[in-house]
Amino acid sequence: MQGELADPNNVTLAQYQQAKRLKKDPAQVKRTFQDCRAASDSRAAFAAALRERGYILAKGDRRGFVGVDLFGGVFPVSRWTGERAKAVKAKLGSLDGLPTVEKAKDEIASTLSARFDAEFEEAEIRIQDRAATLKARLLELRQDQQRAREKLCGEQETRRIAETKRRQQRFRRGALGLWDRITGKHARLTKQMEARAYEAVRRDQAERDQVIFEQLEKRRKLDGRLTRLRLLRDRRNLARSQKLSEISGLLSGRFAPRNKMQR
């Protein structure tokens, strides 16, 4: 139903926001009041029926029965049921015990604020749980990455020792080694082995750099998700404050003029 809501105890924030964006259909409002009146044989039953459709039965400023909707709109029962005020009073009885319009608005504001606040709290708990899970995953990832780097360094050190030993074995000893020095072969081999050692150092550094780059990329993704969660929490907290303030202001008449249908 366009612009219609349910009992304030059951309405969700999404439903409230959607209904707020929609303009009330006067024909639908009239059918709502008439249907509630036709299905009720007492004031209590009528009040209960209206509440289920998003209206609080209250005592109007002119001592008549009115329905107050969840946005603070005031709807005279006689006008919206099509009955005379005397006929409505005869069927519904006394106004005693009914809240004033202001009291009804306070009740709605209190009910909606508590309900929406609970929704925000549930969302906050979900965000905190998700953040805790991501933080645990990030810690585990860092520990795994630290172990992976240590393992790589150990493997590289083992390889470095083996390669150094093989290079050293290329040099001949004794008389042959002396001959190599005389002929210049030892010097040429020394430069060649130094070049290979330098390439090995560069290779090992490139391997470490690649591992670190890949690890940082994985951590960046988790950090990004945590950052987005923090931003989401900040936006929700701001929306929470704004929405609760809006409900209070709307029902007190600070933000919205009276609907022409209500006059």
Render each residue's pLDDT in the chain as its tens digit; 263 residues. 444 555 555 656 665 665 566 567 788 888 899 999 999 989 999 999 999 988 999 999 776 899 998 888 888 999 888 888 889 988 999 999 999 999 998 888 888 888 888 888 888 899 999 999 999 999 999 999 999 999 999 999 999 999 999 999 999 999 999 998 999 999 999 999 999 999 999 999 999 999 999 999 999 999 999 999 998 888 888 887 877 777 767 566 544 434 444 44
What pLDDT score does 109 carry? Answer: 84
253 contacts 72 by C-beta, under 8 angstroms: yes
pLDDT of residue 255: 42
Instruction: Quickly list DSSP for 75-101.
Output: EEHHHHHT--HHHHHHHH---TTPPBH
Whole-number pLDDT of residue 260: 43
Predicted pLDDT of residue 176:
94
Q: What is the rounded CA–CA span in Å between residue 123 and residue 100?
A: 34
The reported pLDDT for the residue numbered 144 is 95
Residues listed for the chain: 263
Q: Give Cβ neighbours of residue 246 (< 8 Å, ≥ 6 apart).
A: 255
- The domain ranges of the chain are 13-115+252-262, 116-248
- d(Cα 22, Cα 40) in Å, to the nearest integer? 28
**Residue 251 parent element (H or E):** helix 185-252
Q: Could you tell me if 113 and 242 are in contact, meaning their C-beta atoms sit under 8 angstroms apart? A: no
User: Which helix (H) or strand (E) is 37 found in, with range?
Assistant: helix 26-38
Both tokens of 173, joined, read: 């000893």
Tokens, residue 107:
């009740």
Phi-psi region of 97 (alpha: psi -120 to 50; beta: other; left: phi over 0): left
Dist CA 74 CA 106 (whole Å): 13
